[in-house]
Structure 1
Amino acid sequence: MLAPVVAGFVLHPVLHYEPSIVALLGAGLLVAVSTAETSEVLSEVEWPTLAFFAGLFIMIGGLIDTGVIDEVSKALADAIGTNELGGSLTMLGASAVLSGVVDNIPYHVTWWALAL
């Protein structure tokens, strides 16, 4: 199953399927051919972690759609100006400080959204 899923990831621009669809199809096929009991598998899932990530991506998506991320990134770009070295050093310094205060996963997702 690994080979078709990896091939689907590589060929997703040609096949016009998103990588998430390829991953879900691979997972669905594995569940279909598996002999494991569904209740056993579902009891091993870390539901709070999945709910956290779902909420995180919904929140970041909402901030992108409402324009908050766009405004913050424009303000940062205006503050940095053409000083790329200073901007890079400031971002690295802020990342070092903030990653010690905020959990790394939501922090990384927010920086990723700002970079878009």
Structure 2
Amino acid sequence: VFAFGDPASLPALNSLLRALDSAPATVWFEGGDEGLPFRTDPARHEVRRVLRLDSGAHLVAQVKADLPGLLRSHPDAYVWIACDTATTRALSSYVRKELGVPKERVDALGYWRP
């Protein structure tokens, strides 16, 4: 699983990670998580912290740099996106249209408006 979230989506992200059982996940987390109840297992979850810059454009750029290579290694991966509406829309469009991930393997929900 490749997941993208921020502090607003943290409860849903924690639920997703818990539901995965022993499956690995790579998480891009936009913004700080200090003091937040982030429920990750370092043995199964890689967390890539990304500063919130340029109204989410920094996260989108980071994903565009990281995700293509990861998808080549894991072509059947599930992609979960829950950020602000504009960032979610940009990431979802990129993942589906440019990277060709089928809509059945993408779950995207904008949690808030910038």
TM-score of the two chains, using structure 2 as the length reference = 0.29
Please tell me whether Structure 1 or Structure 2 has the larger radius of gyration of its CA atoms.
Answer: 1
Instruction: Please identify which structure carries the higher helix content.
Output: 1
Q: Whose relative contact order is higher, 1 or 2, with alpha carbons under 8 Å and at least 6 apart?
A: 2
Instruction: Please identify which structure carries the higher strand content.
Output: 2
TM-score of the two chains, using structure 1 as the length reference = 0.28
